[in-house]
Amino acid sequence: YSMKIKSGEHTEQMAFQESEYFKEKAKERYKIEAKNSELKHRHGYDVASSSGLVGMELQGAMAIFTVNIKRILKLIK
């Protein structure tokens, strides 16, 4: 038979994943992933539309602004 020897980092990560903090955060992750998916697939945040860091920051700000306005309008209705 074979036996795997895990590195120190691997055992630390395994212990962290068993912690209560990790389990609580894992339950909340789907909410964040859904928002990121909406930004990427519906609002063009997956590919930069212009070159440079400033252009990407502007694109990100506009995408986030658009999503927030849509949510506000949905609450008003």
Place of tokens 């903090």: 21
Q: Is residue 17 part of a domain?
A: yes
Same domain, 30 and 57: no
Residue 5's identity, in one-letter code, is: I
On whether the CB atoms of residues 70 and 42 are closer than 8 A, the answer is: no
Residue 48 φ/ψ, nearest 5 degrees? -70, 130
Q: Give me the mean pLDDT over the 45-71 stretch.
A: 88
Q: Does one domain contain both 36 and 63?
A: no
Q: Are residues 13 and 39 in the same domain?
A: yes
Helical segments of the chain, H only:
8-17, 20-42, 53-76
pLDDT in tens, 2-34: 777 778 888 899 999 999 999 999 999 988 898
Print the domain residue range for 39: 7-46
pTM of the model: 0.57
Least reliable range by pLDDT among 25-29, 39-43, 70-74? 39-43
